[in-house]
Amino acid sequence: MIKYPPIEFWVHFKKTKGAMSTAEAIFLYNACLQVDGDGVCVEMGTAYGKSAMVTLMAWADKGRKTLFLLEPLFEGIDFLREVHTSIKDFQKELHNTNCVFLKNLSTDFLPKYDKYSYIFWDSGDHSPELVNKEKPLLEDKVIKGGILVLHDINSQFTACTEAYNDLINSGKYEAIEYDWQEIFDYVAKNNLEDGNNSWHQYPELPHPPNFIGALKRK
């Protein structure tokens, strides 16, 4: 059964700049609810914090589970301050899950740990060069039952789709699926996409963007 974040959540999500539809946020929320285990949890490509808020919301009941947020733009103090303030405001109101802001690149961070319970993969330009550097750094490090979420699959970013399919074909991962039609209906009924501050726009689609996929390590 698909679960939905509390309705107050959308105020924070929608006003935060970034690249995610509310339909994708619901998918991500459900994938994050499945995260368990004591491996490291990391988001690769945080930008202004849209996706991070979804994950933190899903983990509201998981105590102090830590989410590492990787974003090279955190190098800029004004950028970091903006994202930090926005996430702290959200946390103050909705819960207090722990997160750590890091300016590291995915390719520098991934080798630091051997066990991952959650990786959100949304870094950079999604070029084949970057995706093909990241994939071998994470493929064997997600622990059994661990969740890997990929943004921008089935879109113009073909390297992401290839990585998603390769990981399934490797036999190490299985796809997690949710009923997109149910999600689109919920988004429409609650007018969620209205006012969502996202540059991830595909007006040619008859529904909000749904370029997100999740894999579970077997």
Q: How far is the CB of 64 from ligand SAM (least distance, A)?
A: 23
* Closest to ligand SAM by CB, 163 or 218: 163
Contact 49, 99 (CB under 8 A): no
CB of 171 to ligand SAM, least distance (A): 27
Between 130 and 145, name the residue whose CB sits nearer to ligand SAM: 130
CB of 141 to ligand SAM, least distance (A): 16
Instruction: Return the residue nearest ligand SAM (CB atom).
Output: 18
Strand partners, 98: 66
Shortest distance in whole angstroms from residue 15 CB to ligand SAM: 13
- Is the Cβ of residue 119 or residue 167 nearer to ligand SAM in the bound state? 119
The residues binding ligand SAM (CB under 6 A) are 18-20, 44-48, 50-51, 70-73, 105-107, 122-124
Torsion sign, CA atoms 99, 100, 101, 107: negative
Give the separation between CA 146 and CA 218, rounded to whole angstroms.
8
Query: Of 50 and 141, which CB lies nearer to ligand SAM in the complex structure?
Result: 50
Cα(43)–Cα(107) distance, integer angstroms:
12
Per residue in 16-51, is it b (16+ CB within 10 Å) or e — as a string?
bebbbbbbbbbbbbbbbbebebebbbbbbbbbbbbb
